[in-house]
Chain A
Amino acid sequence: MGYDTINAGHAAEAPAVAVSELSKRYGRLLAVDRVTFQVQHGEIFGLLGPNGAGKTTIIRVLTGLSRPSAGQVRVFAHDMERNPKEAKKLFGLVPEITNLYDELSALENVLFMAQLFGVPPQERLDRAHQLLDLFGLGSKSRVRLSHFSRGMKRAVAIAAAVVHRPRLLFLDEPTAGLDVVHARTLRRLVRRLNQEGVTVFLTTHYLEEADQLCDRIALLVKGRIVALDTPEALKDRASKGGVAVEVAFEPMLDQCAVGLGRRTGIRRVTARGDRLRVEGDKVSEVVAAIVAYAAESGTEITHIATVRPTLEEAFVQLTGLSSEVMKTEKGGS
């Protein structure tokens, strides 16, 4: 199969990724436990979970770097067990740890991947230059990779992963270990690739990143998917059909929370710094209760706003884990 046919888009109606009852066992350790999901064309799909949840294991199985112990993986309808070669032509992978060749320049690294995937000579040179320019590395294209920073290497890794114009891009913890500036640039690049039609499958343990980037998120805990939906739907599920209003009083007294909590239509009141989070069934009922309480207690409302649960709150509610586990980097730091 030549380069032209790689992108011909056969099996266009099949999901980009279809995983069915996937399990992966390392000896006695069950790293992935009967996971089932699909990734549709053109979406950014995130696998969100703490370190050790099985995210990298899943990505390795999906890309053919590891074999499943049970279950089935299809990439654009190609079975990864029976026909991995055809599937591999359609995707690129950016691993968590950049595994490019330090001995080669950025350009040589990108060109090498283009050569492996059969991109025609002139096109691969143009494409490699174009990608390195896009990632701001045009002037350093002939510098050996050993002289690059971590963020620059990650950018080269992305260029190398998309040089053959894959229809699907796997990103394993794309911003792990990057500084804020590089992480922001990288997210922008991911969005841009997605706008150009590339389906993106990423793993992350950064809740904010998943919230900002992903169309759908699967929450993975101990090798199992505990929830899978859009970020908004996950937040809605966390709010359990209720509403939350954030309010600040002047003066803010300890008894404000107690007084508000006794009112009808209020489910729960929790202190959040110098503000209170008031939960109830309907916004009108909650606001009416707050206004009535202020009038009766002689306090002044200095701030009032409806608030939606954050993805962090949704994560805590849906997984039963503390959000602190998501802040732990690999290696326990």
Chain B
Amino acid sequence: MRDELRIIYYIIRKDMRAYYLKPPAISWGILFPAAMSLSFYLRNPAGFGELAPGLLALTVLFSTTAMEAVVINFELRVGSLERLLLAPATFGSVLLGKLLGASLFGFIITALVATAVLPTCLDRGFDVVALLFIVITSLITFSSLGALISVAVKEVFEAQTLGNFLRFPMMFLCGVFIPIQTLPPGLRHLAYALPLTYTVDGFRQALGGTGNLSLVGDVLILTGFACVFVVPAVALLRRRFA
């Protein structure tokens, strides 16, 4: 266990050093959430607080999945992931290191966006503990999703493209811009099958609003999604080296 924890820790440290400033991480993980926040603010500064939960949720989604593509696919392409697999650790530990590295990146970016967004929510008040819970659970869930996408392909651009097939529909279905209740029944059911719905719902409650589920419910469902994404991701990674 000590070996595994040590390896996970050093993978995170190495990924921070090697990949946090890679162009795909900057463009999808930093610039995209920043540009979106800025455009919404410029369009309607007074109503910006209403969009805060959605913007934070999108920041978590894009920052983690973009970084996961970088930390996994760069290494799959040049073969350096094999270097990690030579260490005395399991496939699961190596993937967990990658997952936590991307989560940490997501946390930093989300914290930056939150610093800009939260002052607009002061009048309604917000729950810091609840916010941390929903942020951390969402970071791990979307890192897991990013990991699953990334191990399924080889190149960074493939992971980003495949990721966009999921990220953009989620943006429009999960209550970021349009309330889920106003969606047609079919799309509403689809929305409840997507993890971003629960992240937005959790953020909404943490930022003084009301949600469709309890915060605990959101956290539990997101944890379930994380498991659903991680298990096949580890299996796919193992199959790559079968």
Chain B associates with chain A: yes
Which residue numbers of A lie inside 8 Å of B, CB to CB?
1, 63-67, 85-86, 88-89, 92-93, 95, 97, 99-104, 108, 112-113, 115-118, 160
B80 CB within 8 Å of chain A: yes
How many chain B residues have a CB neighbour from A under 8 Å?
A: 22
Q: When A97-B79, A100-B80, A103-B18 are in contact, do A112 and B241 touch as well, CB less than 8 Å?
A: no
Give B17's nearest chain A residue, CB to CB: A104
Segment from B87-95, B128-136, B167-175 that makes contact with A: B87-95
B interface SS class: helix
A66 CA to B242 CA in the complex, in Å?
5
Give B85's nearest chain A residue, CB to CB: A65
Q: Which residues of A contact B17 (CB under 8 A)?
A: 103-104, 108
B193 to chain A, nearest CB (A): 35
CB–CB B82/A95 < 8 A: yes
CB–CB A101/B88 < 8 A: no
Q: When A86-B88, A115-B10 are in contact, do A99 and B82 touch as well, CB less than 8 Å?
A: yes
Q: Which residues of B contact A99 (CB under 8 A)?
A: 78-80, 82-83
Tally of A-B Cβ pairs under 8 angstroms = 61
A247 to chain B, nearest CB (A): 52
CB–CB B84/A116 < 8 A: yes
A26 CA to B86 CA in the complex, in Å?
22
Contact check: which of B14, B79, B88 meets A89 at CB < 8 Å?
B88
Q: Which residues of B contact A89 (CB under 8 A)?
A: 88
A88 CA to B90 CA in the complex, in Å?
11
B165 to chain A, nearest CB (A): 29
B7 CB within 8 Å of chain A: yes
A291 to chain B, nearest CB (A): 61
Q: Which residues of A contact B79 (CB under 8 A)?
A: 95, 97, 99
CB–CB A113/B3 < 8 A: no
A116 CA to B4 CA in the complex, in Å?
9
CB–CB B82/A88 < 8 A: no
Q: Which residues of A contact B90 (CB under 8 A)?
A: 85
Q: Which residues of A contact B32 (CB under 8 A)?
A: none
Q: When A1-B3, A66-B242, A67-B242 are in contact, do A101 and B80 touch as well, CB less than 8 Å?
A: yes
A111 CA to B118 CA in the complex, in Å?
41
A48 CA to B88 CA in the complex, in Å?
29
Contact check: which of B14, B18, B88 meets A88 at CB < 8 Å?
B88
Known A88-B87, A101-B14; 14 more pairs at CB < 8 Å: A65-B86, A66-B241, A85-B3, A86-B88, A88-B88, A93-B86, A95-B82, A99-B78, A99-B83, A100-B80, A101-B18, A103-B17, A104-B17, A104-B18
B189 CB within 8 Å of chain A: no
